[in-house]
Amino acid sequence: MVTEEKTSSGALARYHLGSVLIWLGVTVWLPFIGLRLVGEKPSLFWYLPFHLLGVIGGSRLRASARRELGQSSPKKNRLQMIGHGAIFAGILIWAPYFYLKATGQSVEVMNYLPYHLIGVLGGVGILAVNHFLTQGRSRDS
């Protein structure tokens, strides 16, 4: 028989596993960046599947665990909407890259990567600021 405690601990474990997968999906780029810095041109397609698997798989795992724990998504404030919008824009930067690549045109990853990182890391930074601001407000209450 499955008890509520076992279900909660399983969902919590899946939530933490999702966080680990997200970080692994992000850090898969460290060797790619290192190789680029020393002048090599590694193929994007050796790293992209692992990045997407970690980031998308981890976020889906966290979302399902959050639902199982009964935690609904809180109403988003303005900073959260801006942060998520910046992340979304940073991801959308890749649309023209993949279009040009699919049509056989020569395109350089490094022309798009800085904008992707600005959007994603900027959005994550905004979300972190929002987190600390809301934590400060909740402690003051």
Same domain, 83 and 20: no
Which residues, 6 or more positions from 20, have their beta carbon under 8 angstroms from its beta carbon? 58
Flag whether the pTM goes above 0.85.
Answer: no
How many other CB atoms sit within 10 Å of the CB of residue 126?
19
Among 43, 58, 73, the domain-final residue is: 73
pLDDT tens digits, 16-49: 999 999 999 999 989 998 998 999 988 888 898 8
Both 3 and 46 in one domain: the answer is yes
* 61, 113: one domain: no
Looking at the structure of the chain, the number of domains it has is: 2
Check whether residue 52 and residue 120 sit in a common domain.
no
Domain residues for 6?
A: 1-73
Q: What is the mean pLDDT of residues 61-90?
A: 88
Query: Is residue 46 domain-shared with residue 105, that is, in the same domain?
Result: no
Same domain for 67 and 3, yes or no, is yes
Examine the domain organization and report whether 6 and 68 are in the same domain.
yes
Boundary of a domain, candidates 73, 100, 119: 73
Of 44, 73, 102, the residue at which a domain comes to its end is 73
Both 30 and 94 in one domain: the answer is no
CB atoms within 10 A of CB 138: 8
Question: Is 94 found in the same domain as 83?
Answer: yes
Note the pLDDT of residue 6: 60
Complete DSSP assignment for 88-118: HHHHHTHHHHHHHHHTT----GGGTHHHHHH
